[in-house]
Structure formats: structure tokens, C-alpha cells
Amino acid sequence: MRRGGAGWGGPGAWALALALVSGGAVACAPASTVAAPPAPAAPASTALPAPIAAPASTAAPAPSSLSPAPPPSAFARAFDERSRRSAPPLPLPPDVRAAARRYRYVFVAGFLNEGMRAVYFSDNRRALADAGVDRGAVHVLYPGSGRSVEDNIAELGRTLPALAAAGPEKLVVIGHSKGAVEALGFALGSPAFVRAAVP
């Protein structure tokens, strides 16, 4: 998706700056560095009602009163710790474990993956290793968050065929968030590849 030729999160796109405030609540404020697109002009024959101001009690706190957002590494550590405290996964039946070893796996990371690369898909990769899938059969792609969906789909169009050509096993492609959108966009534009290389 391109808006104003800038791609996701660039100038001309809408963005929100998220900050954690005391008590664990999340407040949103417009990012000061990102310009909003101009509002569409109303037709000359249509009169627009006057804007209604929100009551002071429901207004978002001023940006200066928000606590700073934690760095991505702190978020990744907290996420990983909470993941370890969750219930263990159910064991896979032996036939499923054996079938898992017949494929190669490609994970496509989502938006803002740059701050979490060490832990992105770590549980999935660990589960595949526990099922006996060789580490060389698991690939993680990190599309650029600052690039447009179209640019990342084009990159997948170069990377996925190269991975498929590296071995006879079919590819299981798993995308998360924006990565899922990009993987699906590639699949929709490449049906012959999907039929040949994806189970």
C-alpha cells in the first residue's frame, strides 16, 4: 500500500505513537514527525457540520505527560518471559512429527521486526527443532518495515523461488502480521509457484 509515494509509516501516511502510561494502559497520540494526508475537499453543495469537541475527561493525555515507550529489546524480553510462563504445548503425535521433517519452513516476519529478530518466531523454531526438523530447513525472512508492501512482495518473489530451488522439499510459508499480508500478496500473484513449491 502506498500513500503519497512513501510506503508504510513514511511521510504522508497516518501513524500513531504508542506510549505506556502508569497502570499498564496504553495511550495514543499522533506522531509528531509524520504528516497526515490532507483531508479530502468537501463537495461545494454539501455543508459540513461543525466538529464536536470531546469532553475534557475523555481526551488523551498531552504528549508531554506520557511515559516514554520502552525500547524494542525490553518489549522482546517481557514477551519472551511471558511466553515461558504459559502452558507447555500439547505433544505432537509421532506421525505428525515424522511428516514435519518432510518440508522446509519459511517464516515471514511482520511490521517492526527489526527490534525483535533474536526472538521472532523463537517458539516456532524451537517446536520444529523438537520435532526433529533440521535447522537448515528453517528460514526466517525479515522484510523491511520502512518499505512498501509492494517492494516486500517483489523481494519475496526473488527470495522464495531461490529457497525452493535449494532442495526438493516443499516450502511451508508462515507469515505474521504485515509479513502474512506480503506472503499472501506474493502467493496471489504467483499461483504457478504456489502449486509447484507449496504443499
CATH class of 72-197: alpha beta
Considering the entire predicted model, what is its pTM? 0.58
Q: Answer with the residue of higher pLDDT: 150 or 89.
A: 150
User: At residue 194, does pLDDT exceed 80?
Assistant: yes
pLDDT recorded at residue 47: 53
For residue 151, name the pLDDT band (cuts at 50, 70, 90). very high
User: At residue 138, does pLDDT exceed 70?
Assistant: yes
User: At residue 87, does pLDDT exceed 60?
Assistant: yes
For residue 2, name the pLDDT band (cuts at 50, 70, 90). very low
Mean pLDDT of 15-43: 38
Cβ atoms of 143 and 113 closer than 8 Å: yes
Q: Which residue ranges make up each domain of the chain? A: 1-37+50-69, 72-197
User: At residue 129, does pLDDT exceed 90?
Assistant: yes
Q: How many CB atoms lie within 10 A of CB 46?
A: 6
Mean pLDDT of 64-88: 71
For residue 84, name the pLDDT band (cuts at 50, 70, 90). confident
pLDDT recorded at residue 90: 78
The contacts found for 128-135 with CB under 8 angstroms, 24 or more apart, are 128/100, 131/92, 131/96, 131/97, 131/100, 131/101, 132/97, 132/98, 132/100, 132/101, 133/100, 133/101, 133/103, 133/105, 134/101
Q: In the sheet that 103-108 helps form, which strands lie side by side, from edge to edge?
A: 138-141, 103-108, 170-175
DSSP per position, 114-169 = GG-TTTTTHHHHHHHHHTT--GGGEEEE---TTS-HHHHHHHHHHHHHHHHHT-SS
Find all residues with CB under 8 Å of 1, minimum gap 6, and list them: 7, 8, 148, 149, 150
For residue 67, name the pLDDT band (cuts at 50, 70, 90). low
- Residue 3 is classified by DSSP as S
pLDDT recorded at residue 41: 53
User: At residue 27, does pLDDT exceed 80?
Assistant: no
Mean pLDDT of 1-11: 37
